[in-house]
Amino acid sequence: MNTADQLQRGLLALGLTLAPEIQQSLRDYLALIEKWNRVYNLTAIREPGKMVSHHLLDSLAVAPHLHAKRLLDVGSGAGLPGIPLALAQPAMQVTLLDSNHKKAAFLNQAVMELKLKNVAVCAERVESWHTDQRFDVIISRAFSDMGEFVRMTQHLLAPGGMFAAMKGLHPYEEIDKLPPGFKVKQVLPLAVPGLDGARHLALIEMDAASLRERVL
């Protein structure tokens, strides 16, 4: 099966409908990763079929559960999950943040070549980065454990916003180590076509008291 068919079948399995031109852009994005991987080592996965399942479909599996005007992808690396989500949801403004300047160079090139008008790239350390506009959703695919993720990014979360931590196994131990003032709203099991391992999406929010303090 070629990557176009694999992607199309995977999208159907996820219940996602993307226009043919969006699917082409997703494949063009994988081609860019393959090209830059030769020098920049963006990802250990190099087989095209695995890249479709482990990168594109894994990223897009969270799309039905995210509702944001502004999304921050922390530790974006090769742009995962931020770029697939930006392509799937063009009305959403996405910021890709990674402190590695080589990876940020790739992200800027990908944004330019894919003509992603809804994506910005930031090469900063998240704990020291500040912006006037905060984010409805802050997502991480492989940045750190959930407690560290929340601690390092909480200053960037908009009131009423949500952290979205993409995990393999159910993160029972990490949930117990969340900082005070935060709680898990849901842990959603994800079925990713072509990916045998367990996948979960943990949605984390401020508790009511902490939210009131931030709003005031």
Per DSSP, the residues of 47-58 read -HHHHIIIIIIH
How does residue 45 score in pLDDT terms, banded at 50, 70 and 90?
confident
Averaged pLDDT, 92-113 = 96
Cα first-last separation, the chain: 55
Question: What percent helix, strand, coil does the chain show, rounded to 5?
Answer: 45, 20, 35
The pLDDT of residue 213: 64
The three-state secondary structure class of 153 is helix
Provide the CATH number for the domain around residue 102. Answer: 3.40.50.150
| pTM of the model as a whole | 0.94
Q: Supply the range of the domain harboring residue 92.
A: 3-215
The pLDDT of residue 208: 64
Cross-strand partners of 183: 205
The pLDDT of residue 210: 61
Q: How many domains does the chain have?
A: 1
> What angle is formed at CA 214 by the lines to CA 72 and CA 150, rounded to 5 degrees?
40
The pLDDT of residue 211: 60
Residue 216 reports pLDDT greater than 60: no
How does residue 193 score in pLDDT terms, banded at 50, 70 and 90?
very high
